[in-house]
Amino acid sequence: MVSPVASTSRTRINREPQRAVYDRETAYQILDEGFICHVGFSVDGQPYVIPTSYGRAGGNLYLHGSVASRMLRTIKEGVPVCVTVTLLDGLVLARSVFNHSMNYRSVVLLGIATAVENSAEKLEALRALSEHIVPGRWAEARQPNERELKATLVMRVPIMEFSAKVRTGPPIDDEEDYSFPTWAGVIPLEMVAQTPVPDPKLDESAAVPSYVRKYSRRKG
């Protein structure tokens, strides 16, 4: 277990503090299982929250997109960002509507994004983004050419100031409600890959790679 990271006043969880987790191992597990992050930033006092894909390499989170992306161009100027990732694990049905909840794992990351200018790091960041979504794909697909690299902006967000929050387990009802005659419990939820659908233009002799055939989002 990685040693806990001290929380800051900005990331300390005050609501349901017993669900707070501040260690990197837990945060990395959540980040590595998620697909989409939401990037929050402000422009002239107007807040925006944009969903986008991401990848992690070591202690850095990477975002990428077109050099014309308003979000990326804005945060490239040093605008503070808030990046969140949430995994929904179940719907928690209590005996009272008031105590209904969800089982989830989430990470909130605060920081300043920096553009990746070094070509080697930029390519490695794009590899991390690809492998984050479909491990094994980078080596088999055509990799970015010089034109595509120039058209792509990659931003690095250090995973320094963060917190995670986790809820697990059954519903928590008021003591007097435990005798209420209704079903209570958890509806587990999980992202499950379906049977791969080939491109209509695919050569019929092309075999489905094992990393596609056995794809699973659950890490570890």
The total of structural domains in the chain comes to 1
12 within domain boundaries: no
117 within domain boundaries: yes
1 within domain boundaries: no
Q: Which amino acid is at 29?
A: Q
Which segments of the chain have a pLDDT < 70?
Answer: 1-7, 218-220
Q: Read off the CATH number of the domain in which 69 is found.
A: 2.30.110.10
pLDDT at residue number 177: 95
150 within domain boundaries: yes
8 within domain boundaries: no
Q: Tokens standing for 141?
A: 């697909």
Of 74, 70, 60, 53, the C-alpha closest to 27 is 60
pLDDT at residue number 220: 47
Q: Tokens standing for 120?
A: 């080697």
pLDDT at residue number 1: 37
194 within domain boundaries: yes
What distance in Å separates the CA atoms of residue 149 and residue 26, rounded to the nearest whole number? 32
207 within domain boundaries: yes
pLDDT at residue number 219: 56
What distance in Å separates the CA atoms of residue 130 and residue 117, rounded to the nearest whole number? 19
pLDDT at residue number 83: 97
pLDDT at residue number 41: 96
What distance in Å separates the CA atoms of residue 82 and residue 63, rounded to the nearest whole number? 13
84 is in which domain, residue-wise? 17-175+182-213
